[in-house]
Amino acid sequence: MIKLKEVKTKKDLKAFVKFPFKLYKDSKYWTPPIISQEIKSFNKKENPVFNDAEARLFLAYKNNEIVGRVAAIVNWLEIKGQNQKKMRFGWFDFIDDLEVSQTLLDKVEEIGRSYNLEYTEGPVGFSNLDKVGVLTEGFESLSCMVTWYNHPYYIKHYEAANYRVEKTYSESVFPFENVKPEFFLKAQTLIKKRYQLSALNFTKTADVMPYVDKMFDLFNQTYASLSSFVAINDIQKAYFKKKFISFINPEYIKFVVDSKKELVAFAIVMPSFSEALQKAKGRLFPFGFKYILDAKKNSKTADFYLIGVHPDYQNRGVHAIIFNEYYNTFKEKGIETCYRTPELEDNEAIKKIWKHFDPVVIKRRKTFRKELS
């Protein structure tokens, strides 16, 4: 018999965060989070997403052992602002036991009905900057720090619970040697001149900070047309600025501005931290910091995290300016592999940006949906 326990104490929250460490202890491909950071993300005093969202966390027990977990999430900005009556769920992990997964999903659906919501979708996080999707292809490839990893058996559990595919994402790689300057060098010079644009490069995080709010504004504009997009508000901007920007090499943040110094495009790339996080085993001390700092300086893989172009400048080749700047930085850093984090497969604009580099899809992931009527 499966028993559910709602997370109410610090001890329970720690058990919730640490459950995947047991589930994936023998996996060569799972990338663990930093336990302390994961715990903070569920702290209502730390994470401003809770100003506009609710989350209830549950642990599933069998024979007095934890065998599954799920976060049931209600995003009021999405429900009230977009009239998307969706019950979100994420951090959904379980042993290969249909009774376990079904019991957890039953709880999610029960909560959704109590709010008169129309359907569930998961796995998703609180917002568009959280992890998304259950892995459906590419299980024998090291997971990125901004994605969830899961066992192949997860898929049959969604299907058994009568969930259907809602969205599909892909992740791809290409060797840096595929990046040929002739694709963008001449073009970026002409585009700069035609639209009076210039690139901004940084060597200090402090120099990046004055532009970060504008970057998030541009992020909102760039992705507003995509399905189920929820804009980042001012309070969340401050939180993400603190949480992410100081973590990224300033050389890996690129901005493009117009003649008035208004931001028209941006891109954020991170060195791959996956192997460092595996070595850290969820802890910053005593050696976790060392592994992460070493990866920050010396990783030969670059993970493309975000790229955005103002709607007025889309389809005008502005990305050529960004690629030119990254080419110079990556060449200096000795980057060998470029990795694209999850992108919606219906995002045709982003596909056009990357087509010259012959990327190879190595993973696919999906979110699943179920009506609550």
**pLDDT tens digits along 62-88:** 999 999 999 999 999 889 888 899 999
Is residue 266 included in any domain, yes or no?
yes
pTM: 0.93
User: What is the band of 256 on the pLDDT scale with cuts at 50, 70, 90?
Assistant: very high
Q: Which amino acid is located at 365 in the chain? A: R
Average pLDDT, the chain: 93
pLDDT at 226 over 80: no
The boundaries of the domain holding residue 99 are 3-170
Same domain assignment for residues 144 and 193? no
CB 254 within 8 A of CB 199: yes
Same domain assignment for residues 84 and 209? no
Is residue 368 included in any domain, yes or no?
no
Q: Which amino acid is located at 24 in the chain? A: Y
pLDDT for 86-113, tens place per residue?
999 999 999 999 999 999 999 999 999 9
Q: How far apart are CA 110 and CA 89, in angstroms?
A: 12
Residues 55-58: contacts with CB within 8 Å, 24+ apart?
55/126, 56/6, 56/7, 56/111, 57/6, 57/7, 57/12, 57/13, 57/16, 57/91, 58/4, 58/5, 58/6, 58/7, 58/104, 58/107
Last residue of some domain: 122, 137, 170? 170
> Among 95, 89, 91, which residue's Cα sits nearest to residue 62?
95
Query: What is the per-residue pLDDT for 349?
Result: 75
Same domain assignment for residues 220 and 78? no
pLDDT for 18-44, tens place per residue?
999 999 999 999 999 999 999 999 999
Same domain assignment for residues 126 and 242? no
Last residue of some domain: 170, 201, 218? 170
Percent pLDDT > 90 in the chain is 76
Average pLDDT over residues 2-12: 97
φ, ψ of residue 82 in degrees (nearest 5): -115, 0
φ, ψ of residue 100 in degrees (nearest 5): -65, -55
Same domain assignment for residues 144 and 191? no
pLDDT at 227 over 80: no
pLDDT at 10 over 70: yes
pLDDT at 228 over 90: no
User: What is the band of 155 on the pLDDT scale with cuts at 50, 70, 90?
Assistant: very high
Count of domains forming the chain: 2
Same domain assignment for residues 120 and 220? no
Last residue of some domain: 118, 139, 170? 170
Other Cβ atoms less than 10 A from the Cβ of 203: the count is: 9
Same domain assignment for residues 337 and 261? yes
pLDDT for 291-319, tens place per residue?
999 999 999 999 999 888 999 998 899 99
Same domain assignment for residues 269 and 325? yes
Query: What is the per-residue pLDDT for 200?
Result: 95
Average pLDDT over residues 134-146: 97
CB 134 within 8 A of CB 70: no
Is residue 107 included in any domain, yes or no?
yes
Average pLDDT over residues 236-243: 82
Is residue 296 included in any domain, yes or no?
yes
